[in-house]
Structures are given as structure tokens and as C-alpha cells.
Chains A and B, each alone.
Chain A
Amino acid sequence: MNTIFVVLVSVLVIALAVTMFRVARGPSLPVRVVALDLMSTLAVGLIAIYAVAVRQPIFLDVAVVLGLISFLGTVAFAYFIEKGEFPWPRA
């Protein structure tokens, strides 16, 4: 793996850590869902850069599937936030 790809992946890992801070802190459930959605988007970019770094285009399929699943997860979270009852505080 080239040095430049190590730098790119490191920047994305820092971005993932910053987003993870927001998932942990909250303060409300929709904030956590937004941050988790961003984390999966960052992971798609990470996988794409890794595919270029190791010259294996098969990893792009993983990025496609992760994008699909993260959208479905976000829609499900939104549905249950809107309709559901919560044992935890809403805001």
C-alpha cells in the first residue's frame, strides 16, 4: 500500500472517530442516527479507497452493498422514531 493511500485512509479514520464521538454523546436519538448514517457513508469511501490501494475492484461490490444496507437502516430507524414508544428520553 502506497504512502499516499495510508494518508487518505488515516484522514477517513480520523473522520470516523470524530463521528463516533457524536454517536456516543448524542444528545438525542435522531442525532445518533444521523451520525451512524454518516459513519456508513464514510465507510463506503474507505472501502473504495482501499479497493484502489490494493488494486482489487471486487471490493467495490462491498461498498455498493454497504450503501444499500445503510439506507435501509436509516429508513427503519426513522420509521421507528416517528411511530414508536421510547424507554429513553426523546430529546
Chain B
Amino acid sequence: MAQGLSLTLIFIGVGFMLVAAIGVARMPDVYMRMHSSTKSATFGVGFVMLGVAVAFGDFAIAARAMAVVVFFFITAPVAAHLIARAAYVSGVPMWKGTLGDDLQGCYDREAGVLASTPADASSTGLGGGVA
């Protein structure tokens, strides 16, 4: 019973991780690839660790597995935010079908400052404008 439950959880997790890998290989630009890799792979690790905790059935090991899950759920958004910011600042182009860039005009390349509102109001993207 416990073994079947743990194998089911691990199967779900591995499925999510495979989807994340395919997404990173097939998505058109870095921001969409990040969407695939961060969310899906973190969710997959969570399920695998849940399955590991059920498989061993020991409190100390389950606590360690849950610590891994908590750690991943805290660090994955931070790492994705940092990489996305670095990619935007270093000028990685977006996919040609992207509808709008809300940060257009917000980054001062000479000063190296990324502001939350554009420097001049006319240069907003499609979804831009002051809310």
C-alpha cells in the first residue's frame, strides 16, 4: 500500500520533470523557458520527495525530504527572478511573437538602473502605461 502510493507520487514527479525538460528544449525564448523549468521542475521535485518520504516511512528521513521541498520552494522563485532580471538587463531578445514588454523604457543602460516606471511616459509597451 505504502509502496504503491510512493511509486505513484514518484511517477507524477518524474512526469513533471520530463515536461520541464521538454519545455526548456522547445520553448522559443529564455523567459518562456524559465517559466517551464522553474515551476514544473520544482513541482516535480516536490512530488518525488513526497514519494521518498512515504517510501522510507521514517520520521527523520521524511523530515529531511520535506526540508528539501521547502528549500526548493523558497529558492526556485528567487533564482528565477535573478536570472530573468539578468537576462533582461543584458539585453536578451524576446520571442518575435511577444505581445508587449511592460518594462520598455524602464531600464537605463548607462546608469545600470532598472526603474519600476518608464523614464518618459510615451515609450510604454503594449501592456504598459501607469496603472
Measured between beta carbons, the chain A residues less than 8 angstroms from B25 are: 18-19, 21-22
Measured between beta carbons, the chain A residues less than 8 angstroms from B64 are: 57, 60-61, 64
Q: How many A-B residue pairs have CB under 8 A?
A: 152
**Distance (Å) between the CB of A56 and the closest chain B CB?**
10
> Closest chain B residue to A57 by CB distance?
B61
**Distance (Å) between the CB of A75 and the closest chain B CB?**
6
Query: Which A residues lie at the B interface, using CB under 8 A?
Result: 4, 8, 11-12, 14-16, 18-19, 21-22, 28-31, 33-35, 37-38, 41-42, 44-45, 48-49, 51-52, 57, 60-61, 63-64, 67-68, 71, 74-75, 77-79, 81-82, 86, 90-91
Q: Are A64 and B71 in contact, with the CB atoms below 8 A?
A: yes
11 contacting pairs across A/B (C-beta < 8 A): A12-B18, A15-B22, A19-B21, A31-B30, A31-B33, A34-B34, A41-B72, A42-B20, A44-B68, A60-B52, A64-B68
Of the candidates B14, B24, B61, B71, which one forms a contact with A60 in the assembled complex, judged by CB atoms under 8 Å apart?
A: B61
Q: Are B33 and A42 in contact, with the CB atoms below 8 A?
A: no
Complex Cα gap A12–B52 (Å): 16
Q: Are B52 and A77 in contact, with the CB atoms below 8 A?
A: no
Chain B: residues with Cβ within 8 Å of the partner, total of 48
Complex Cα gap A29–B86 (Å): 10
**Which B residues from 31 to 75 make CB contacts under 8 A with A?**
33-34, 37, 41-42, 44-45, 48-49, 51-52, 55-56, 58, 61, 64-65, 67-68, 71-72, 75
Q: Are A37 and B92 in contact, with the CB atoms below 8 A?
A: no
Q: Are A78 and B7 in contact, with the CB atoms below 8 A?
A: no
**Distance (Å) between the CB of A46 and the closest chain B CB?**
9
> Closest chain A residue to B81 by CB distance?
A78
Q: Are B44 and A45 in contact, with the CB atoms below 8 A?
A: yes
Q: Are B6 and A52 in contact, with the CB atoms below 8 A?
A: yes
Q: Are B45 and A41 in contact, with the CB atoms below 8 A?
A: yes
Known contacts A16-B21, A31-B30; 17 further A-B pairs (Cβ under 8 A): A15-B20, A15-B22, A22-B25, A34-B83, A45-B13, A45-B17, A45-B45, A48-B49, A49-B10, A64-B64, A64-B71, A67-B68, A71-B75, A75-B79, A79-B86, A86-B90, A90-B92
